[in-house]
Amino acid sequence: MPGVFEVNHPLIRHHLSRLRDKSTPPSEFRTLVQRLSVLLAYEATSDLPTAEDMIETPLTAMTGSQLSQRIGLVPILRAGLGMVDPILNLMPDSEVWHLGLYRDEATAKPIEYYSRLPETDPVHVAMVVDPMLATGGSALAAMEVLKRWGVPEIRLLAIIAAQAGIDAVMEQFSDASIYVCAIDPELNTSRFIVPGLGDAGDRIFNTTPAGNTTPTGD
């Protein structure tokens, strides 16, 4: 179902607060990203179609069900990697298609550095995962690649989004769905999400950009 879904749940608010806190160390940050990814994916998969499947329990035969579509998880490197394993645990038959994009610090425009998507036979549903949706530039670049592949349905899962990024994505891809844990009100002049959580990639991988002593990221 197209649209924007801000998942409002006490567990999400609880874990998100720890995630935002600048004193939360990378090891805990990674765990929180995993928990939030599961909660987000639970919502973002709630209308996936299933097909009937005959099974036998130890007691009798019955009709069960199984997911009926090919699903692709598309992490935007680097930070999206932190969301893959927990979602893959929920849908172990998914395909994982990595896209490498980083935001140029001066222009905030996405630079693509890795994509090995095939030219044919697209998945039915692509779930793009990236903890942050700031200007929307990276998500839009990823979605354009997926559209060129021929993916009919794209769902975007982000832990935090800025309203500007959501607007940019929906303007260009009105048939997409966006699932987020929180929509933050603004981008600062450097186009970082405020209040945000800093730079998700740096906090997941315990890296500090050269010359930076405080994480400010998107």
24 is annotated as an active-site residue: no
Question: Is residue 153 a contact point for ligand PRP (CB under 6 A)?
Answer: no
Query: What is the DSSP secondary-structure string of the chain?
Result: --EEEE---HHHHHHHHHHH-TT--HHHHHHHHHHHHHHHHHHHTTT--EEEEEEE-SS-EEEEEEE-S-EEEEEEETTTHHHHHHHHHHSTT-EE--EEEEE-TTT--EEEEEE---SS---SEEEEE-SEESSSHHHHHHHHHHHHHT-SEEEEEEEEEEHHHHHHHHHH-TT-EEEEEEEESEE-TT--EES--S-HHHHHHT---TT-SS----
Q: Which of 21, 50, 104, 107 is catalytic?
A: 107
Select the residue interacting with ligand PRP from 4, 30, 42, 102 (CB under 6 A).
102
175 is annotated as an active-site residue: no
Select the residue interacting with ligand PRP from 7, 76, 125, 146 (CB under 6 A).
76
Question: Is residue 200 a contact point for ligand PRP (CB under 6 A)?
Answer: yes
Question: Is residue 122 a contact point for ligand PRP (CB under 6 A)?
Answer: no
Select 72 or 136, whichever has its Cβ closest to ligand PRP. Answer: 136
CB of 28 to ligand PRP, least distance (A): 18
80-99 binders of ligand PRP (CB under 6 A): none
Question: Is residue 37 a contact point for ligand PRP (CB under 6 A)?
Answer: no
Of the candidates 76, 79, 73, the one whose C-alpha atom is nearest the C-alpha of residue 33 is 79
CB of 201 to ligand PRP, least distance (A): 2
Select 44 or 79, whichever has its Cβ closest to ligand PRP. Answer: 79
Select the residue interacting with ligand PRP from 73, 79, 123, 180 (CB under 6 A).
79
Question: Is residue 145 a contact point for ligand PRP (CB under 6 A)?
Answer: no
Which residues are catalytically annotated? 103, 107, 199, 202
